[in-house]
Each structure stands twice: as C-alpha cells, then as structure tokens.
Structure 1
C-alpha cells in the first residue's frame, strides 16, 4: 500500500512518497472432604448416637482444571495467524498545486527463499525516480523490519539516500540520512517507513479499527495513529469496489488530512489515498491494476 508520511518532506517529495502510499476463577472446586461425626442434641437434652458417614472414595479420574484454563488463556492472548499474500500493484497519481504533476508507482511484495519478505516501491515520473525497499520477517502477525533502503534521484532534485538497519538480537537500530548517522535503542514493535504501511493493512485484515505505530525517523520514533471512519463504494479502474475508509489521526487544529481506502475483497489492498496539506495542496493516488496471489 504505497503510503509514506507526506508531512515530513517538501511538497514534491511528499507527492512522490504519497505514491507509496491499524484469572478466570477456579471453577473446579475442592474435592469433597470426608464427613466427620456429628452429634445432634434435641430440646429434651438427650443426645443421639453419633452417626459416622461412609467414607467418600476419590474419583477415578480427578479433574485438572488448571491446565485447560491455562490453554484458554494462551488462546485468548495469541490471535489467529494472518497470512501475507504476494502482490504487484500499480497506481496513478496527481498533485494539484497550481500545476498538475502526474506519475506512476509500482508496489511489489514477494517472499524470499530464506523465509524473509521483500517489499519494494518504485516510482517513475518526469521529475524524479524513487527506489525504496524493505527486507523483513513476518512473525505472529507483526512486521519485523531488518533493513530499509531509500533513494531519490531526478531532474532538478538533489539525490537523497536513507538507510536503516535493525539489530533485534542487541535491541538497537542504526541508520544514515543524507550523511547524518544515528543509533538508538529499539522500542517494542518498532517499524520503518515502509513496514508500518504493510502493518496497517494486515491489522485491518485482523479486524482492528484503531491502530498506533512507532515509526523510526532519523534518531527518534514517531507515533502514528490511524482509525477506521466508515465504509464507501468507489468506482476504480478495477470496477466498483467496496472499501474501508481510514484516516490518519491528527491534532484537532491541524489542517492537514490523510484519508485512505482499502478494499477487503482485494485482500485489503490500498485503492485510493487523498492528502490535503495545510496550504490547500491536494495529493491523490488511485489503483490502476493489481495482481494478488490469493491463498
């Protein structure tokens, strides 16, 4: 789903990045104890002979409630697996800022022989080209980024490169952006600028409606929040598509807005994105073609 945070870069780069672009109680009871002798005293004061209850034999197969209860807890804590599906999708894009700029982008998601995955994003336009890639693992419904690469080059635009490498064994992340290096400790669930886009799509598949991600951003982590705000049917190059509408959560006074449409019938593929900047500039991408390997 070709989305990258447009709010962080210049308008032209923003447009290009947009092309790339949520203790059970113990119920078994204690085993019955053997009855003890009881003496009843009547009002007359005469005592009855003690009555001894017959000993209760223990059940042949005493229940062990702790084990099944623990299994139930484990099942509740571990959600069902959500599989990744290889895909290839192409998008058209337009930026309206007094002058209309058009371009196209291709998104690829492919498994690798070593069990990792590669997510690629390639942009071609008369103004610039972008090569962006992520190598990652998919474990327990979570994107585990390993290495992220980004390169921008084009006419009248200075070249830019960015690298991020994740060392999960030592819990550190390091990288380089335009010659400036950084290194810092990882936070739980840390994602890269591409991985969070894929994680958003997978979380929607899992039925989530509120999503929050910690995205690596040149020596710090940005907290990006998203929320499902409704459903809508769109007319696309693929025909009429029912979609889930998602909005990036921003501060109430922020004039910038980002809205995305994902198609459940297309494995929650991103089919449209619209971003409006605080100065009124509008960026929009729309699906043109998609090839998804259904499970």
Structure 2
C-alpha cells in the first residue's frame, strides 16, 4: 500500500462534506414545505494513510436580514486552512445559489481560489477557478460545490431515496448520483444515532467509496462521512457538536 501522504489530503478530508450533489428539479407545488433551521456544526476529522492525522471543521448556516441564507465552512489544520461560503435563497424546498466563494491557503501547498456568481434573471453563470475565468449558460436547478450538500440532506428529509444532481465546479457542469442504501444504528463520539446510510453511486469499476450517515432525529444532519480510497486508505468525518435553532 502506498505510504506517501499528499499535503492536500487532510484539507480534502475536512472539506469532505462538500462532495455531495445538487438536485435537478424544484419541488412540486403539492410537496410539503421544508423549513431550514439556522445551525452550527463541528466535525472531527481523521486520515489513515500509513500515518494518522487529525483536524477539525466548523460549518454554520444562518439567515440574513434580507431573507437570504449564508452557509459557510471553516477548516483548520496544520497543513492548510479552507474558507468557503455561499449566499443563497431557499425557494420551493430548493437551494437557489447566488454567490459562492472558496479559498484554500497553507504553508505546504499552492493557494487556490474559486468564485461563482449566478445571474438567474439572465440565466447566466460566471466566475473564475484558479485564475481562469469562465461564463456559460445557467441550467435550471444547477447548484454550486457547497449548496448541493445542503440540498442532499433536505432531499433525503423529504423522502427521496435516489437523487441525481448537477453542480457547477471548476468552470463546468458535473453530474453526480446518490442513493440511500440502508438504515443503521451507530455510535459517534459517545452518542448513539439511528441513521440513514447513503452512498455516492460510482461506475461499476470504481474502487473508491463515499458513504454518508444522516440522523433523522437530528434534523437529518450528516453525522459521519467515510471515504475509502482504491489503496485502502480511509478519510473520515464525525460530528462532535451541533446546535440547531428551531
């Protein structure tokens, strides 16, 4: 098994929540409205690739005075720091992104920046990724690299069990698929949760696994994320603290 640890691996783990997708369609008119709740979450992170490393991530969701929402993530480790944020509207049980920003900085890695601006009036999206600017047609229901994570948990909360998402990242569209595959009881940091287990659906030949556990009794929070790489190494996030305003 390879023992070389990429200096970007731990920040990637700590931002692992960001691996989730974005829904294709708005909720139907007769679907029950789902209310968002302001929250503050903290996660412990570990990486096992011949060497065990630890870090932490904090995620905050809050509503602004104008009715829009601010979703942000702060990742801190000795390797690198990540600042990520999204301004969005919550309409018909759907995240409508307006402004996305991402910044990675550290001593051992190259700094990286990404920005995406959504113009829903003219159905255009523009921005830059690592200095390369882009502009293209905006697809109905498209999301950013952060908003689709929130959309996934809300879709599962609404009863969906198979999901197809479109997300804008690095100046192009990606399509991701997810499915709820099981119900499990698991212990995380001394607490026991009944959870819905979901996975990212990959090609049949892929040896990489991305697994997520959402707790219905905690407003469908992501309480555990596990990624297993083809060489057998594992990246894991587990929830340590959660405050939800209802």
Same fold (TM over 0.5): yes
Q: Quick one: distance in 2 between partners of 1:81 and 1:241?
A: 25
Which of 58, 69, 74 is 1:122 aligned to?
Answer: 74
Give the number of aligned pairs.
234
Q: Does the alignment pair 1:15 with 2:13?
A: yes
Asked if the contact 1:122/1:129 (under 8 Å) is kept, the reply is yes
- Which runs of structure 2 are paired with 1:1-295 in the superposition (5 Å)? 11-18=9-16, 20=18, 77-237=29-189, 239-294=191-246
Q: Quick one: distance in 2 between partners of 1:76 and 1:175?
A: 30
Asked if the contact 1:19/1:104 (under 8 Å) is kept, the reply is no
State TM-score, norm by structure 2.
0.91
Q: Quick one: distance in 1 between partners of 2:179 and 2:36?
A: 22
Structure 2 unaligned residues grouped into runs of 5+: 1-6, 22-26
Q: Which contiguous aligned blocks of 4+ residues in structure 1 show a shift greater than 4 angstroms?
A: 19-22
Q: Quick one: distance in 1 between partners of 2:17 and 2:43?
A: 7
User: Relative to structure 1, is the Cα distance of residues 293 and 238 closer, same or farther in structure 2, using a 3 angstrom cutoff?
Assistant: farther
Q: Quick one: distance in 1 between partners of 2:28 and 2:74?
A: 40
Q: Quick one: distance in 2 between partners of 1:76 and 1:220?
A: 27
Q: Quick one: distance in 2 between partners of 1:101 and 1:181?
A: 35
Asked if the contact 1:20/1:121 (under 8 Å) is kept, the reply is no
User: Relative to structure 1, is the Cα distance of residues 12 and 125 closer, same or farther in structure 2, using a 3 angstrom cutoff?
Assistant: closer
Deviations 1:99-151 (A, max 9, x none): 11210000100000001000010001111110000000000000000000000
Asked if the contact 1:103/1:124 (under 8 Å) is kept, the reply is yes
The higher relative CO (CA closer than 8 Å, separation ≥ 6) is in 2
State TM-score, norm by structure 1.
0.76
Q: What's the secondary structure of 1:181's corresponding residue? A: strand
Asked if the contact 2:11/2:79 (under 8 Å) is kept, the reply is no
Q: Quick one: distance in 1 between partners of 2:15 and 2:121?
A: 31
